[in-house]
Amino acid sequence: MAYAIYLLFLYPNNTIITTVTSILSNPIEYLKGVGPQKGELLRKEINLHTFRDLLDYFPFRYVDRTKVEKIISLHAQMDYVQIRGRITRLEVMGENRAKRLVATLKDETGEMSLIWFQGWQWMEKSLQLNVAYLVFGKLSLFNGYLQMSHPEMELLTGETVTGKQFLEPVYYTTEKLKARGLTAKAIGKLSKNLLEQMSPNEIQENIPKPVLEQYRLMDRSKAYFKIHLPAGEEDAQQARRRLKFEELFLAQIRICRLKIRRQQSSHGFLFNLVGDTFNTFYNEHLPFTLTGAQKRVLKEIRQDTVTGRQMNRLIQGDVGSGKTMVALLTMLLAVDNGFQACLMAPTEILSQQHYKSISELLEKMPVRVALLTGNVKGKARKQILKDVASGEIHLLIGTHALLENQVEFRNLGMAIVDEQHRFGVAQRARLWQKNVMPPHILVMTATPIPRTLAMTVYGDLDVSVIDELPPGRKPITTVHRTEFQRPQVMDFIREEIQKGRQAYIVYPLIEESETLDYENLMKGYEEVKAFFPEPRFYISMVHGRQPVAMKEANMHRFVTGDTQIMVATTVIEVGVNVPNASVMVIESTERFGLSQLHQLRGRVGRGAEQSFCILMTGNKLGHDGKERIQVMVQTNDGFLISEKDMELRGPGDIEGTRQSGLLDLKLADIVADRAILEAARASAEKILQEDPDLTMPENQPLQQFLAAQLGKSQWSKIS
Ligand code: ADP
Ligand code: MG
C-alpha cells in the first residue's frame, strides 16, 4: 500500500503534463531558429511537425570528436578528422571569382592547408595567427597534398585549451533543407537548443521501473539528452540501447494486447469430440506414421479448439515437412464436431494438388470433398455452392475463390490457409466472416520466418513449428556450377532421366527486366531442346505469360510423368509436389534471394531417391552472390537460411513483411538488435500476464503513455 501511494506521488497527473501543458506539442516553427518558412520545409521534407518530432529525429551516426590527430598521421581515407595547431600564414590566392583564403596550420608534427572559397573575407578578418585552434573538417586530396575545405575552427584560449571533445551527432537531411541552411549540423543545433531550454521533466518515463532495473536501462529523459548530445561513445550506446528497447517494448505491448483482446472477445467453436471420422482415418487410412513434430502440432491445435476461444495459429514448417497431413487431420476434427472446413491455397495448381491428394486419402471415408477455383464454372460451380450451403460438402478446397461472397457455408468451423505469405492479413480477416462466429484459423507457411521476425510480424498469432522431416529423406546434395560446366550438367540430367527421374530447370523472372528474362527463358528452352535430341525426352515449359489453361496443361504433363524436364520460371516455386523429380537446376542463381532458392530446392528431395540441386552462375560472381551460394551449399535448414537471408537483405525484403507496416522501426533493427527484441518481448508478456489492463501502480507510466498515444498510432488498423 505504502508503495502504491509512493508511486502515485511519483507520477502525479502524468497525462495532463504530457498532453496539455507540454511544450513538446508546440509546432516546430515556434522553435528559436526555425520560423514559418523553415518550419514548412521541415514538415514537408522530413515530417517534423512539433518539438517532440524533433526530439524523435535521431542522429543516424556520430562523428568522433573525442580524438585529436597529429598532422603527420593523416591520410586520405580518414574522412572527418580533428587536429590542433596554430595558423602560421594566411594568404588570399587566385583571381576574381576564383579567389580563396589559404591558411597554413602547423602542429608539432607537420603542416597542412585549410581553404575557404566562400565567406573568406570574413574568415580572413577573424582568424588569428599563432594562437591554438581546434580544427575539424573533412580531408581531401589536392595535387597530392591533404587539405581541408571550410573546416570548423574553435579558438582555444585559457580554460578551453583542449577544446570541446565530444561525439558529434549526424542527422539525415535533404538537398532542399540544405539549400535553406538546414544542414545536418544545423538540425543538430536545433535539437540542442530545444534540449537546453527544456526541463528534463518534459520527457516522462514510459517503461515500468522494474523493467528499467532488470535491464539496466537509462531513464527516458536522460536517454533523449544523451542520444542527441552524447559526451562519449558509452553515452551514445546506452541511450540508443534504451530507446531501442522502448521502441520494441511498446510495439510488443501493443501486439500482445491485441492478442489478449482477441482471445478475450472472440468466442470460438468448441471441438469437444475426437470422433469416428478422425479415428477411422487415423487408424485405417493414414499412409504413414506421423512425425513427432506433426503430432505435437496437432496436439496444440486440439488444445486451442477446446478453449471456447477462436484459434489463430501459424504453422511454420520447412518444405516437405508434411503440413498437408496436419491440415487434413485438423479438418477431420472439425467434421467430427459437426462443422465444415476449408483449405485455401494461393494457386490453381496447388489447390488441385491438395484436392487430388486429399480426395485419394479420403476415398474410403464418408467425407465429401470439393474443389472450388476460378476455373470451376457454370453448372458445376452452382452445384458446389449449393452443396456447401446445405452442408453436404464437408471439406472445400480452393484458391481465393473461396473468399467470394457467393461462397456461403452452412457451418464453417475451420479455415486453413496454405502458404500464408501469398495472402495478406486482410484476406485472412475475410475468412472470419464466413460464419456467425469466426471459424478457427490455421495458417501454414513454408517460408520459415526467423523467430524474431515472427514475433514482430505475426505477434498476434500463436506459432507452431514442424521442425522435423519425415523419416527416410535423403538430404538434397547442392552444388555450384558455372557456365563452363554446362555440358557436364546437361549430361548429368540425362543420366538421371535415364534412371527414370525428372528434372526442373528454373529461370529468374523479375518484373523490372521481364522482357529480357523472357528472352533468356526462351533461349534456355531452345538450348535444352538441342541438348536432348532423344525422341523419348519431352520437355514442359511453364511461365507467367502463358494462358492459365496452357500453364496448367504443361504442369499437368510433368506431374503425371509425361514429360521429363520442366523448364520454368519461379511460378513453380510454391508447393508443387512431384516426388519423382530428383534434379533442380537453378539458372542465374545470383539473382535469387536465399529464401526463394530454398523454396525452389524444396521441389526435389520429396521421394526416396537421392536428389540434387545445381546452382548455375556466370563465371564471375560478386561477394554477395558467393556468400549466398555458400549458404545454400552448406545447409538444408530452412530456418538457418531465412536468418541468413534476413542478415544479407534486411527484413524489409522478406516476403509478406513489407505490406504489414509492422517494421516501421526508427532505431531498432530486428536482426542486429535481436537480444533487445527478445528482452522486450519477454517483459511485455510478463507485464500483461500479471496486469492485462495495466492498472497496477508501477504500470501507470506505461498506461498513461499509451493512452496519450492513442489515435496517433497506426496499430488499430491491424486488428
Ligand atoms: P509441405 O509441408 O511442404 O506442405 P507435404 O505436406 O506436401 O509437405 O508433404 C511432403 C511429402 O511428405 C508428401 O508426399 C507427404 O505424403 C509426405 N509425408 C508427410 N508426412 C509424412 C510422414 N509423417 N511420414 C512420411 N511421409 C510423410
Ligand atoms: Mg505444402
For 457, the grid coordinates are: 510480424
Of the listed ligands, the closest to the CA of 418 is 2
Residue 592 forms part of a structural domain: yes
- Give pLDDT, residue 648: 75
- Provide the residue type at 29 as one letter: E
Residue 513 near residue 569, CB atoms below 8 Å: no
Residue 198 and residue 297 in one domain = no
Residue 331 and residue 195 in one domain = no
* Distance in angstroms (rounded) separating the CA atoms of residues 546 and 665: 41
Confidence of residue 9 (pLDDT cuts 50, 70, 90): very low
E strands, 517-605, are 539-542, 565-568, 581-586
* Distance in angstroms (rounded) separating the CA atoms of residues 33 and 193: 9
Q: What is the pLDDT of residues 611-661, one digit of tens each?
A: 999 999 988 888 888 889 999 999 988 888 888 887 776 655 444 443 344
Judged by average pLDDT, the poorest of 153-162, 443-452, 604-613, 692-701 is 153-162
Span 76-89, mean pLDDT? 89
E strands, 460-564, are 462-466, 477-482, 502-506, 539-542
Q: What is the pLDDT of residues 356-399, one digit of tens each?
A: 999 999 999 999 999 999 989 999 999 999 999 999 999 999 99
**How large a percentage of the chain has pLDDT more than 90?**
52
Residue 138 and residue 111 in one domain = yes
294 lines ligand 1 (CB under 6 A): yes
Residue 138 forms part of a structural domain: yes
For 472, the grid coordinates are: 527416410
Residue 99 and residue 51 in one domain = no
Of the listed ligands, the closest to the CA of 289 is 1
Residue 565 near residue 555, CB atoms below 8 Å: no
Span 514-538, mean pLDDT? 85
Residue 285 and residue 382 in one domain = yes
576 lines ligand 1 (CB under 6 A): no
Residue 512 reports pLDDT greater than 80: no
Residue 89 and residue 57 in one domain = no
Residue 58 and residue 88 in one domain = no
Q: Which atom of ligand 1 is nearest to the CA of 606?
A: 11
Over the Cα atoms of the chain, what is R_g? 32
Domain with residue 293: its CATH number is: 3.40.50.300
Residue 658 forms part of a structural domain: no
Residue 677 forms part of a structural domain: no
- Give pLDDT, residue 296: 97
Confidence of residue 591 (pLDDT cuts 50, 70, 90): confident
Query: What phi and psi, each to the nearest 5 degrees, are found at residue 153?
Result: -115, 125
Of the listed ligands, the closest to the CA of 574 is 2
| Ligand 1 mean position, distance from CA 290 (Å) | 9
320 lines ligand 1 (CB under 6 A): yes
| Ligand 1 mean position, distance from CA 581 (Å) | 15
Residue 436 and residue 527 in one domain = no
Please choose from 288, 328, 604 the residue to mutate so as to test ligand 1's pocket, defined by most ligand atoms within 8 A of CB: 288
| Ligand 1 mean position, distance from CA 270 (Å) | 28
* Distance in angstroms (rounded) separating the CA atoms of residues 196 and 198: 6
| Ligand 1 mean position, distance from CA 403 (Å) | 27
Residue 125 and residue 46 in one domain = no
Please choose from 325, 351, 601, 639 the residue to mutate so as to test ligand 1's pocket, defined by most ligand atoms within 8 A of CB: 325
CA max distance for the chain: 100
Residue 6 reports pLDDT greater than 50: no
Residue nearest to atom 15 of ligand 1 (CA): 322
What is the count of structural domains for the chain? 4
Residue 18 reports pLDDT greater than 60: no
| Ligand 1 mean position, distance from CA 606 (Å) | 8
641 lines ligand 1 (CB under 6 A): no
Q: 697-701: long-range contacts at Cβ-Cβ below 8 A with a sequence spacing of 24 or more?
A: 697/3, 697/4, 697/7, 697/8, 698/7, 698/208, 698/209, 698/210, 699/208, 700/7, 700/8, 700/11, 700/14, 701/11, 701/14, 701/204, 701/205, 701/206, 701/207, 701/208
445 lines ligand 1 (CB under 6 A): no
Residue 104 reports pLDDT greater than 60: yes
596 lines ligand 1 (CB under 6 A): no
Residue 599 and residue 622 in one domain = yes
Of the listed ligands, the closest to the CA of 321 is 1
Of the listed ligands, the closest to the CA of 417 is 2
Confidence of residue 697 (pLDDT cuts 50, 70, 90): very high
The whole domain housing 54 covers: 1-63+186-202
Residue 419 forms part of a structural domain: yes
- Give pLDDT, residue 658: 39
- Give pLDDT, residue 511: 54
Domain boundary among 612, 635, 658: 635
Q: What is the pLDDT of residues 394-453, one digit of tens each?
A: 999 999 899 999 999 999 999 999 876 555 556 666 777 888 888 999 999 876 666 667
Q: Which atom of ligand 1 is nearest to the CA of 466?
A: 2
Residues 6+ apart with CB under 8 A from 99: 92, 93, 120
323 lines ligand 1 (CB under 6 A): yes
Residue 2 reports pLDDT greater than 70: no
| Ligand 2 mean position, distance from CA 574 (Å) | 8
- Give pLDDT, residue 67: 83
290 lines ligand 1 (CB under 6 A): yes
Residue 7 and residue 151 in one domain = no
Please choose from 290, 318, 321 the residue to mutate so as to test ligand 1's pocket, defined by most ligand atoms within 8 A of CB: 321
Span 502-530, mean pLDDT? 83
Domain with residue 144: its CATH number is: 2.40.50.140
Per-residue 3-state assignment (H helix, E strand, C coil) for 334-391: HHHCCCEEEEECCCHHHHHHHHHHHHHHCCCCCCCEEEECCCCCHHHHHHHHHHHHHC
Residue 671 forms part of a structural domain: no
Of the listed ligands, the closest to the CA of 466 is 1
Residue nearest to atom 23 of ligand 1 (CA): 290
- Give pLDDT, residue 593: 83
* Distance in angstroms (rounded) separating the CA atoms of residues 618 and 629: 13
Residue nearest to atom 27 of ligand 1 (CA): 470
* Distance in angstroms (rounded) separating the CA atoms of residues 569 and 571: 5
- Give pLDDT, residue 103: 96
For 23, the grid coordinates are: 511544450
Domain boundary among 148, 172, 202: 202
Confidence of residue 537 (pLDDT cuts 50, 70, 90): confident
Residue 210 forms part of a structural domain: no
Q: Which atom of ligand 1 is nearest to the CA of 319?
A: 3
Of the listed ligands, the closest to the CA of 325 is 1
Residue 545 and residue 588 in one domain = yes
Whether the CA torsion 242, 244, 245, 250 is positive or negative: it is: positive
Residue 83 forms part of a structural domain: yes
Span 107-133, mean pLDDT? 91
DSSP letter assigned to residue 333: H
- Give pLDDT, residue 480: 96
Q: What is the pLDDT of residues 220-251, one digit of tens each?
A: 999 999 999 998 889 999 999 999 999 999 98
DSSP letter assigned to residue 72: G
Confidence of residue 505 (pLDDT cuts 50, 70, 90): very high
| Ligand 2 mean position, distance from CA 576 (Å) | 8
Domain boundary among 404, 421, 445: 445
Task: Select, from the ranges 281-295, 640-654, 669-683, 702-716, the one with the highest average predicted confidence (pLDDT).
Answer: 281-295
| Ligand 1 mean position, distance from CA 337 (Å) | 26
Residue nearest to atom 13 of ligand 1 (CA): 322
The count of C-alpha atoms lying within 13 angstroms of the C-alpha of 275, restricted to the half-sphere facing its C-beta, is 13
Please choose from 285, 297, 324, 417 the residue to mutate so as to test ligand 1's pocket, defined by most ligand atoms within 8 A of CB: 324
